[in-house]
A and B are shown apart, each in its own frame.
Chain A
Amino acid sequence: FLMSKSRFNPYEGNGGTTAGVAGDDFVVMASDTRLCEESTYVVSSRNYPHLYDLGNSSVLAAAGFNGDVIQLIKLLYIHGRRYLYQFNKEMSITARASLLERVLYQHRGFPLYVGNLLGGMDEEGRGALFSYDPVGSYERISYIADGSAAAIVLPFLHNQVGLRNMADAGAAPRLTKERTVQILKDIFVSAAEWDIHCGDSLLIKMITKEGVAEETMALRTD
């Protein structure tokens, strides 16, 4: 057992749980603000949100290995500036989504250990949300959760946003931004109860065509 512990491992699990919901004219992204170390159980920071503004009202939720998250954000920032200087306009969300796939795949041989969710408004004014695996496979979806408590948050979103529990889902009212924020607050409270890496506080970013608004809420700190 001692021999396996001393083997070199380039990654660390820094925790963090993220979630996103895309609606007809909004996207809500949420993340807790805890940064921890999976192997030593230390909590490194209680005020480290996992949501990053990338420009043009797009938000990246990135949790996993924090070293790779930092590098990824730098790369995406530089790509965004390159695009802006080259074409004199900000990247659209679909261009950013495609770029993120290629940036992640470029590290296919030594992956960036990050679970990414990219949210923003698309060219038609609808909410766009994309989820990625660590090497770049991506898909546009309407709700997703990632990070350490993903298995707790995602089934709840499936039930409340995907409405698979209702036989006649057509009768349900259309999802509003306020209801989405309430759903996310409720589930993150539960996620903090049941996952050791989730807690401290919740940061919610609401993206609409007007821009990005923020809200925070306290969670369990144990």
Chain B
Amino acid sequence: MELFREAGFPYKIEGRQDDRRSNNSTTGRPRCPFDEEDINSLMPINFGVIENKQHFQNEGGPGPRIKMNHGTTTLAFKFQHGIAVVVDSRATAGSFISSRTVEKVLAINQYLIGTMAGGAADCMYWERILAMHCNLYELRNKRRISVAAASKILCNLVYSYKGSRLSLGTMIAGWDSKGPGLYYVDSDGTRISGNLFSVGSGSPYAYSVLDTEYRWDLSVDEALDLGQKAVVGATFRDSASGGFINSYIINADGWKHISHIDCFDLIQKYNSKKK
């Protein structure tokens, strides 16, 4: 461990917890019971090092601006055959498209998935930590974790960083002993259960399509079609959404990736139907 300290490595060794507490005294960051100081997880630190970090995260002022991947449309809804999850695949850094092929549905385990909206790195990292906690739960308790518990773990993890400008808007969807479970969790600390959610910059457009045609008794094909139509509508009007439309279905057997379609092709398909 001396190597790390010599290189100025910002890793705090277990047993020397005083540094985290002193960080808390300046930021007032509430401690999370799931914090694990482990070299393999490499928890983020150094929040509050520079006062008023806004000037190098937003536009305005001299010098380079950090641009992180953002922007999206994701949606999920419960129906009689399970949960349909449909997402786009565009990641933007400012006005530059940093990726056209992002996987915005992150597998937590075989029957639980999390979606990605807001900061791509935040979602990717925290859902990976969530997957670790869910795995440990299964090993310790010899049963699957419930969707409610998994979403609560994530919610508590990000709540302990509240105020540190994390940006996370995710839906935890899965199947447990109570049937389908769908929770919306975000970095403000919101955690709500529901039948239908859409998250991201394109969500108002997706909601308008979903709310018009959503019913509980959809067939699987109708549900996927509705979800795709909603995301396509969002990609059409929202410049931060686009790319490929990925669809998933979750049922008692777990989650399954159904389709990967270019949204341009889908738009053309719906336009040709209009004529």
Contacts and interface: CB of A to CB of B under 8 A. Distances in A.
A and B are partners in one complex rather than unrelated chains: yes
A7 B68 contact: no
A3 B93 CA distance: 28
B23 to A, nearest CB: 10
Interface stretch (A24-32, A106-114, A165-173, A204-212): A106-114
Contact of A102 (B49, B99, B123, B125): B125
B50 A110 contact: yes
Interface string B127-161: 00000000000000000000000000000000000
Secondary structure call for the B interface: loop
Contacts of A110: 46-47, 49-50, 53
B55 A71 contact: no
A135 B119 contact: yes
A105 B66 contact: no
Contacts of A111: 66, 68
Nearest to B8: A71
Given A4-B61, A105-B44, A106-B43, A135 B121 contact: yes
B221 to A, nearest CB: 29
A174 interface: no
A102 B41 contact: yes
A9 B42 contact: no
B68 A139 contact: no
A65 interface: yes
B122 interface: yes
A12 B64 contact: yes
A109 B49 contact: yes
B15 interface: no
B99 A131 contact: yes
B42 A78 contact: no
- Counting chain A residues whose Cβ lies within 8 A of the other chain, the interface size class is 35 or more
Nearest to A112: B66
A64 B64 CA distance: 9
Interface string B67-78: 111000000000
Interface in A1-49: 4-5, 7-13, 38-39
Contact of A9 (B63, B98, B120, B123): B63
A69 to B, nearest CB: 13
B121 A136 contact: yes
Nearest to A14: B64
Contacts of A135: 66, 68, 119, 121-122
A104 interface: yes
B122 A13 contact: no
Nearest to A85: B3
B4 interface: yes
Nearest to A102: B42
Contacts of B61: 4, 7, 9
Given A108-B166, A110-B53, 19 more contacts: A4-B62, A8-B50, A9-B61, A38-B64, A71-B8, A102-B41, A102-B42, A108-B46, A110-B47, A131-B99, A133-B67, A133-B69, A133-B98, A135-B121, A136-B125, A137-B68, A137-B119, A139-B99, A150-B96
22 contacts: A4-B60, A7-B61, A9-B56, A9-B61, A11-B64, A11-B66, A64-B64, A65-B64, A74-B7, A78-B4, A78-B9, A81-B3, A101-B121, A109-B49, A110-B50, A113-B64, A133-B93, A136-B121, A136-B125, A137-B91, A137-B123, A150-B96
Q: Please name the 9 residue pairs, one residue from A and one from B, whose CB atoms are nearest each other, closest first.
A: A109-B47, A137-B120, A137-B121, A9-B63, A108-B44, A135-B121, A109-B46, A102-B42, A13-B64
Interface of A: 4-5, 7-13, 38-39, 64-65, 71, 74-75, 78, 81-82, 101-111, 113, 131, 133-139, 141, 150-151
